[in-house]
C-alpha cells in the first residue's frame, strides 16, 4: 500500500513537470507568432512585448530544472521514467534557446524599423520559413505530449525545408545588397533574423529527437533518416 502511494506521488510529480514543459512550449510558440507578426506588420510595440516576456520563459526554465533535479535526487528513477526526466530537461533547454532566438528576432525587427527600412525589403522566403518554424515547433511539442515517434520523425526530416528556404533567402539578399549598397545595413539585420528562424527549426528538431529517445530508448541525434526509421519500427 505504501509502495502504491509513493508510485502515485511520483506519477503526479512527473505529470506536474510535463505540464510545466508544455506551458513553457506554449509560451515560446506564442512569442514566436508575435515576433513574426511584429516583423511582417512593422509593429515595434509588439516586438517590445516579446522582449519583455522573455523573462517568463527564463523563469519557467529555472523552475523546471529545479523540479527535474529534485525529482531525480529523491526518487532515483530508472528506465523510461529516467529517460522522461532527462528528455524534459533537454526539451526545456531547447525551448529556452528557441525563446532566445525569438527575442533576437524581436530585437532585429526593432532595428529594421528604427533604421527606416522600406517595407519592400525581401521577405517572401522569410514568411515561408517562419510558417515552417512555427509549425515544426507546435508539432514537436504535440509529438512529445503523445510520444508520437512517427510525427517526431517527420519533423526531423522537415527541418531540411527551413534550411532550404534560408539558403534561398541568403542568395536573394546578397543580390539585393549588390543592387543597392544603401540596403546593406537593414539587409544584415534581416540575415540575422533569418538565421534565428532557422535555429528555431533546429530546436524543434531536437525536441523531436528527445521524443524518440523517451519512447524507444534510442539516441537518434546523429543517425540518418533511414536508420531512424529502423529505430521507430
**All domains in the chain, ordered by first residue:** 2-232 (1.20.58.220)
Name the one residue in this structure whose C-alpha cell is 531547447: 94
The predicted model scores a pTM of: 0.92
Q: What is the CA radius of gyration of the chain?
A: 20
Q: Output DSSP code: residue 220.
A: -
Rounded to 5, what percent of the chain is helix, strand, coil?
A: 90, 0, 10
What's the pLDDT at 1?
45
> In sequence order, what are the residues at sequence separation of 6 or more whose Cβ sits closer than 8 angstroms to the Cβ of residue 104?
192, 193, 196
What's the pLDDT at 148?
95
Are 14 and 84 spatial neighbours (Cβ–Cβ below 8 Å)? yes
Are 20 and 64 spatial neighbours (Cβ–Cβ below 8 Å)? yes
Cα→Cα distances 166→15, 65, 69, Å? 37, 33, 37
What's the pLDDT at 210?
95
Each of the 233 residues of the chain gets a pLDDT tens digit; together they read 444 545 788 888 999 999 999 999 999 999 999 999 999 898 999 999 999 999 999 999 999 999 999 999 988 888 889 999 999 999 999 999 999 999 999 999 998 888 876 566 677 778 888 999 999 999 999 999 999 999 999 999 998 888 888 888 888 888 888 888 777 887 888 889 999 999 999 999 999 999 999 998 888 888 877 778 888 87
What's the pLDDT at 51?
97
CB-CB neighbours of 101 under 10 Å: 24
What's the pLDDT at 218?
82
What's the pLDDT at 217?
86
Amino acid at each position: 500500500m505504501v509502495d502504491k502511494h509513493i508510485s502515485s506521488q511520483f506519477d503526479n510529480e512527473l505529470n506536474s513537470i510535463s505540464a510545466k514543459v508544455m506551458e513553457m512550449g506554449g509560451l515560446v510558440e506564442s512569442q514566436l507568432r508575435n515576433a513574426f507578426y511584429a516583423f511582417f506588420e512593422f509593429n515595434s510595440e509588439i516586438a517590445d512585448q516579446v522582449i519583455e516576456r522573455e523573462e517568463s520563459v527564463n523563469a519557467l526554465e529555472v523552475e523546471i530544472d529545479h523540479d527535474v533535479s529534485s525529482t531525480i535526487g529523491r526518487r532515483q528513477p530508472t528506465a523510461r521514467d529516467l529517460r522522461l526526466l532527462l528528455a524534459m530537461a533537454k526539451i526545456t533547454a531547447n525551448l529556452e534557446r528557441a525563446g532566445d532566438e525569438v527575442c533576437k528576432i524581436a530585437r532585429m525587427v526593432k532595428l529594421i524599423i528604427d533604421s527606416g527600412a522600406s517595407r519592400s525589403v525581401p521577405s517572401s522566403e522569410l514568411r515561408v520559413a517562419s510558417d515552417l518554424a512555427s509549425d515544426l515547433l507546435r508539432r514537436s511539442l504535440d509529438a512529445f505530449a503523445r510520444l508520437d515517434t512517427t510525427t517526431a520523425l517527420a519533423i526531423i526530416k522537415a527541418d531540411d525545408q527551413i534550411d532550404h528556404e534560408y539558403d534561398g533567402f541568403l542568395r536573394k539578399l546578397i543580390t539585393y545588397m549588390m543592387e543597392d549598397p544603401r540596403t546593406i545595413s537593414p539587409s544584415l539585420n534581416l540575415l540575422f533574423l533569418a538565421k534565428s528562424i532557422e535555429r528555431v527549426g533546429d530546436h524543434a528538431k531536437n525536441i523531436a529527437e528527445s521524443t524518440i529517445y523517451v519512447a524507444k530508448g534510442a539516441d537518434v541525434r546523429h543517425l540518418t533518416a533511414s536508420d531512424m526509421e529502423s529505430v521507430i519500427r
